[in-house]
Amino acid sequence: MLDNLSDMGILSGTGYRIYEPDAPVTTEQLATCLVTVLGYEKYASLSGGFPKGYMSSADSLKLFRHSSAALGKELDEADFVMVTANALKANIAQIIAEGSGIAIEESDETVLSKYHRAVKKLGKIMKEADIE
């Protein structure tokens, strides 16, 4: 599975097909992975690449909201979960052809809505149902 993620450009490991699953994950590593999954890799590359461009993109997407994640810091479980949850709520990138080039725009879809048809509903529970 890690090799498949590497082939898709989502993970790069610490060398060719070398992964360290027991090593701590840094803020920059998670930002790079999530920015790539959300489709903003080209934008991050044009904004300075690793780590600056990916961190800037992650900040724009508000991936670090409500977390104590910081540059150069290893993530604890709570921050990992919070940042990942923020990514699930972030809008994915949409690639748009413009003449001979491309443009990257934010779409109205999230990873959950596009790939799992999940939608967010707001409302008020008026009565509990009897479930057996």
Structure tokens given for 120:
């967010």
Structure tokens given for 22:
């027991």
Specify the DSSP class assigned to residue 48: T
Peptide bond into 51 cis (omega under 30): yes
pTM of the predicted protein model? 0.76
d(CA 103, CA 71): 28
The tens digit of pLDDT for each residue in 43-102 reads: 898 899 999 999 999 999 999 999 998 888 999 999 999 999 999 999 999 877 666 666
